[in-house]
Amino acid sequence: MPSPFPGMDPYLAVRTRWPDLHARLIYNITENLMPQLRPKYVARIGERMQLASIDQSYVPDVMLVHEVREAALVYGETVIADEPKLYTILDEAYRETYIEIVALDTGDIVTVIEALSPANKVGDGRDQYIQKQKDLMAAGVNLVEIDLLGYGKETTLARNIIITDPDDWRYIVCTYRVKGRRGLEVYAVPLREKLPNCRIPLRPPDDDVVLNLTAVLNRCYDIGGYDLLIDYSKPPSVPLSEVELTWLHGYLQEKGMRAANA
């Protein structure tokens, strides 16, 4: 079953649902691209550990355990206390996946595709992600950034661009191309519109391949069973403008998924 929305479903962008959707996006993007990449390239899923500050809601993966021995004075006598273990919680670490397109003849990484997560848009996680942007550009790697969250601090390479067409965009796909066209290629997408068929650059003179982002999202929605998990009679918990909320209410009414007086 496809998503009821023409493009991104804002109900999927909630923090509790995003890790599952992110994993499905990464897998299904590789599946969508692989038939076009053969036989010269392969899309593989990479994984990195990223540290997040303690106040963010991730499960800590690592703690340091220390033996503690201190003397204690009890009733005028010196006794040795039992030895508790002292646990020092490190900065929380979480696994984040992305896609690398690799040229088979050289083994070089040609293009990296990122689907941004909430952790990429705040605090230390954002700083680490921006550093990765710089590293990829310095290494001569194409970068495609897909931001389907619609909230949080702007983080893609297009963050310093004023986008006015359309002026009500919510989602963005940004491509940095090492060679060829100058500047950033940007797809800016309002809530009401379908997601783009995105150009994915390879190594010149090879033509771009095309990512059907709407098909990918619909595949994720279907396999993830999100229709069984989402209550469309209630507003989404992500921030939307009044105009967007009005459109969403009317759209879900037309689809028969929300009562007129809801």
In a domain, 173, yes or no: yes
Asked whether residue 221 is assigned to any structural domain, the reply reads yes
| pLDDT score recorded for residue 183 | 78
**8-state DSSP, 6:** S
Strand, coil or helix: 127: helix
Residue 3 counted as domain residue: no
Q: How many helices (H) and strands (E) does the chain have?
A: 4, 12
At residue 88, the pLDDT reads 47
Residue 63 tokens read as 């703690």
Q: What total of structural domains would you count in the chain?
A: 1
Of the listed ranges 78-87, 105-114, 165-174, the least confidently predicted one is 78-87
> Do 236 and 10 form a contact (C-beta atoms < 8 A)?
yes
The helix (run of H) or strand (run of E) holding residue 248 is: helix 242-254
Burial class (CB in 10 A: 0-12, 13-18, 19+), 129: buried
Q: Which domain holds residue 36?
A: 10-60+95-254
Residue 141 lies in a domain: yes
pLDDT(30) > 50: yes
66 inside domain: no
Answer yes or no: is pLDDT of 214 > 90. yes
Cα separation of 2 and 132, whole Å?
34
Predicted local confidence at residue 179, as pLDDT: 82
What pLDDT score does 74 carry? 53
Give first-to-last CA distance, the chain, whole Å.
24
Residue 70 counted as domain residue: no
Question: Which range among 6-15, 83-92, 94-103, 217-226 shows the weakest confidence by mean pLDDT?
Answer: 83-92
Average pLDDT, the chain: 86
Say whether the peptide bond before residue 205 is cis (omega within 30 degrees of 0): yes
Residue-wise pLDDT for 56-90, tens only, equals: 433 333 444 444 444 445 555 666 666 665 544 44
Residue 75 lies in a domain: no
User: Does residue 67 form part of some domain?
Assistant: no
Q: pTM of this prediction? A: 0.83
CA pair distance 131, 151, nearest whole angstrom? 21
pLDDT at 54 over 80: no
